[in-house]
Structure formats: C-alpha cells, structure tokens
Amino acid sequence: MSSKQSTAEERAEALWKRMKPKVLEAVAKHSPERTDLQFDEIESNSASVGDLVARMLMQEALKEQAGTTRTDIERARESLSDEARAVGKTPEQLRLTRIPDKPCELGTVRGPVPHLREYLYFPELRCGIFPPR
C-alpha cells in the first residue's frame, strides 16, 4: 500500500470517528420500537446526517489543498486594480499583509463549511481577499 493510500485511509478513519456519533444518533431515532415514526422524519434525519457527512468531507478536502500561490496573489492584486488606481497606485505597488488561518465560512447547498485559510489584506484599501476568489 502506498503512503498516499494509507494517508487517505487514515484520514477516512479519523473522519468516520467524528461522524459515527451522528450516524448512531440517526439510527437510534429510527428505532423499530417507535410506533409514531413517519417517513418524513426518517428522510429528514437521514438527509441531515448526509449533509453533515458531505460538509465534513468538503472541509477535509479543503485542508488538503495547496496554499496561496504567487499566481493567486497576482490575481488578487489585479482584481483590485480600480481600487489601487483610486489611491494613486498600481496593483503591484499595493502593500500586502498575508494573514494565515483566518476563519471563513463557505456557503454550500449542504450548509456552511467552516474553514481556515490565508487572507490577503491590503492596508491602503482597508480590504482583503481570500484567494482564490
């Protein structure tokens, strides 16, 4: 087994440990002893756990992505070219502060996915960008 496969397997195992309590909770809610259980509730409970699993998988995938590249920084600067000109500078002249691990929340159809990522802050413009945009 290659190191990438074992790493993926280890990550999957760690994710399963975090997911397992939620899956067990949903299974317990669907107990055969419940006489009042409706299909709508089964569907709702199952979908909420499925959405949680999807968000956790997305969050894990985001953690594994490469950091900010030089190209990302150039694109961020270019995206602020109008603002740079408004303060009498070119995009390349803008001061840049790189803030690692700034919390952000990505909106998805499965719900919000919290994430820590690098934030590029431009003090002269009093604004920043999470690259890539």
Per the structure, the count of domains in the chain is 2
The number of C-alpha atoms within 13 Å of 121 and in the hemisphere containing its C-beta is 9
Q: Give the residue numbers spanning the domain of 22.
A: 3-63
Q: How far apart are CA 70 and CA 72, in angstroms?
A: 5
User: In terms of domains, do 56 and 9 share one?
Assistant: yes
User: In terms of domains, do 55 and 85 share one?
Assistant: no
User: In terms of domains, do 55 and 82 share one?
Assistant: no
Per-residue pLDDT of the chain (133 residues; tens, 9 = 90+): 555 566 889 989 999 999 999 899 999 999 899 899 999 999 999 999 999 999 999 999 998 888 899 999 999 999 999 999 999 999 999 999 999 999 999 999 999 999 999 999 999 999 999 987 5
User: In terms of domains, do 7 and 54 share one?
Assistant: yes
Question: What pTM was computed for the model?
Answer: 0.73
